[in-house]
Amino acid sequence: MRDISVDRLLSLFTSSDRAEAIAGDLAEEREQHGGRWFWLHVARVTLALWRNAVSDAPLVVLLVAMAGCALFAAPAFGGIASVYLFPFPSGSPVGRVALALFWWGGALLTGVSLLSISPQRGMAACATLAVVAEALLIGCGADLTGLLIPAWLLAGAGFARRRAIGGGIHAVEHER
């Protein structure tokens, strides 16, 4: 039994046909090896596809990721300004909600924008940017609000990628 979510996950980093074939092969092996083996291999294949996308064009991925940093700078600054410029008590829930909305919305729009800038390498750039951002946020001791920013970045990129593939817009897909 094939899991459509695995097809969708793999199609973020490769063509839909290739993702469907890989997911089908893994689903066949699930019967023999079990669910734990299946999900471990789905994670490994996803990481391998991401690594291949980055290693095929590292400079392009780096430039697109840097563009993502620049795109996210305005909502990040807006979130910080909303907390420090308006007279909320320090650490108030209103200030934290405003900060979260600016940052999460900015991350979502950044993910969508990066896929618009580079349909072929945008998802790899978003994943790279998300991993680096999460490492920095953990290193800085960010709370849950901050730690969810990379998830919103990936969600925005995923929405844009799925729309490009499913909506009839021809996305440039690379095949290996």
Percent of the chain predicted with pLDDT > 70 = 89
User: CB burial class (10 A; 0-12, 13-18, 19+) of residue 168?
Assistant: exposed
What per-residue confidence (pLDDT) applies to 131? 86
The DSSP line for 117-131 is: H-TTTHHHHHHHHHH
Which residue is it, tokens 């839909």?
Answer: 16
Domain boundaries, the chain: 4-55, 57-166
Q: What is the pLDDT of residue 163?
A: 77
- The separation between CA 160 and the C-alpha centre of its own chain, rounded to angstroms, equals 10
pTM to 2 decimal places: 0.72
Residue 87 has pLDDT above 70, yes or no: no
Please write the tens of the pLDDT for every residue from 113-142. Answer: 888 888 778 888 888 888 888 888 888 887
